[in-house]
Amino acid sequence: MRPPMFDATVSEGVLRLHRPETRWVSTGWDGGRARAAAAYNVTVPEGFDRTDLAAYRDERLARAGFDDGRNDSGGGAPDRDAPPTLFTGVSMDHARGARLGPVVAYATVGLSNPAMLPMEPAGAGVSDKSAEMDDSRSAEPTDRPERLGTVNLIVGTTRRLAPGAAANLVAVAAEAKAATLLAAAGVPGTTSDAVVVADDPDGEPAEFSGSATAVGAAARACVRDAVRAGLRSRYPDGDVPGPTADAEHGVVTDERAEVFDP
């Protein structure tokens, strides 16, 4: 019998969200579509500079007592793909989950590297805040995980999503995350946020996942509440980096784009 919902376990700085034969869509490292028994959110240490991320993932999962995610715990046939894995500088002590109806969401929230998008850009060039980033920071390779805060989301549903609905649920989750952070911290996200979405290939079918659907509405509520709980855990005094405080890292998109009719 299929488990009713996703099973979450934290060990050695790794959050595992497990459900056999699950389909995943990830915007993180080595992302895209996959079928695997689990997805992972991994806390990396300060000063992390590994670039062999597949090997690092396997080391951390082994240390945590998890397999590599390619096999179901029941000893079934191997899944086709490696497990979706996100990385963050936020401790898994601050991971929080929320559940509503057919959806569950888990979030880790760190805002040391906020990404601001002012509605009235001050100029046509790079902002002072972006220019303040030192050369080593701005020149870092883009194929390894951000070592700073990061808002990571893993959203799972027991419904069987159509391909477009699965992709759209990424957007729904990101929108809910941005709306929540804007209300709670004055920033829409960070420079390194990532979303993983999961669905059950044997579940009740869902052709759509917009905000007016059962899946989309539940996902919005779960993301909002998980992000708010993660934010309170990470910043219990309410002293969050953002527009009202000086964040050590971050960017402001302060350029103006050319606007024209099609």
pTM as predicted: 0.86
What is the percentage of the chain residues whose pLDDT exceeds 90? Answer: 70
Write down the pLDDT at residue 134: 39
Question: What confidence category does residue 244 fall into, taking pLDDT thresholds of 50, 70 and 90?
Answer: low
Mean pLDDT of 186-199: 95
Mean pLDDT of 219-237: 97
Q: Which of 256, 251, 243, 250 is nearest to 125 (CA)?
A: 256
The predicted model gives 50-79 an average pLDDT of 75
Model confidence band, residue 177 (pLDDT cutoffs 50, 70, 90)? very high
Is 261 part of any domain?
Answer: no
**Cβ count near 48 (within 10 Å):** 14
In a domain? residue 1 = no
Compute the average pLDDT of residues 163-168. Answer: 98
**65/62 Cα distance (integer angstroms):** 5
Which residue in 4, 96, 2, 104 sits closest to 41, CA to CA? Answer: 96
- Judging by beta carbons within 10 Å of its beta carbon (0-12, 13-18, 19+), is residue 50 exposed, middle or buried? middle
Distance set, CA 218 to CA 54, 86, 176, 211, 227 (Å):
33, 23, 11, 8, 14
Q: How far apart are CA 188 and CA 241, in angstroms?
A: 12
Assess if residue 257 is contained within a domain: no
- Residue 168 dihedral angles phi and psi, to the nearest 5°: -65, -30
Question: Mean of the pLDDT values across residues 91-118?
Answer: 95
Range of the structural domain that residue 58 is part of? 7-252
Number of domains forming the structure of the chain? 1
Size of the chain, expressed as the number of residues it contains: 262
The answer to whether position 259 is within a domain reads no
pLDDT at 230 exceeding the cut of 60: yes
**Angle at CA 128, nearest 5°, toward 125 and 130?**
85
Q: What is the rounded average pLDDT for all residues in the chain?
A: 86
pLDDT at 241 > cutoff 50: yes
Domain annotation covers residue 60: yes
Whole-angstrom distance, CA of residue 28 vs CA of residue 39: 11
How far is it, in rounded angstroms, from Cα 147 to Cα 194?
A: 13
Residue 26 has pLDDT above 50, yes or no: yes
| Distance, CA of 26 to CA of 77 (rounded, Å) | 23
Work out the pLDDT band at 74, boundaries 50, 70, 90: very low
Q: Tell whether 258 is covered by a domain.
A: no
- Whether residue 154 is predicted with pLDDT greater than 60 in this model: the reply is yes
Cα separation values, 139 from 25, 38, 230, 244, Å: 28, 33, 30, 27
Q: Which residue has the higher pLDDT, 198 or 138?
A: 198
Q: Is the pLDDT of residue 71 over 90?
A: no
DSSP 78: P
1 has pLDDT over 90:
no
Angle between helices 214-234 and 163-185 (to 10 degrees): 40
Which pLDDT value is given to residue 148? 60
Q: How confident is the model at residue 80 (pLDDT cuts 50, 70, 90)?
A: low
**Is residue 68's pLDDT more than 80?**
no
Instruction: Please answer whether residues 111 and 147 qualify as being in contact, where contact means their C-beta atoms are separated by less than 8 angstroms.
Output: no
Calculate the dihedral angle through the C-alpha atoms of 76, 82, 88, 91, rounding to the nearest 10 degrees.
20
Phi, psi of 124 (to 5 degrees): -100, -5
pLDDT at 145 over 90: no
Predicted confidence at residue 247, as pLDDT, reads 61
What's the pLDDT at 251? 86
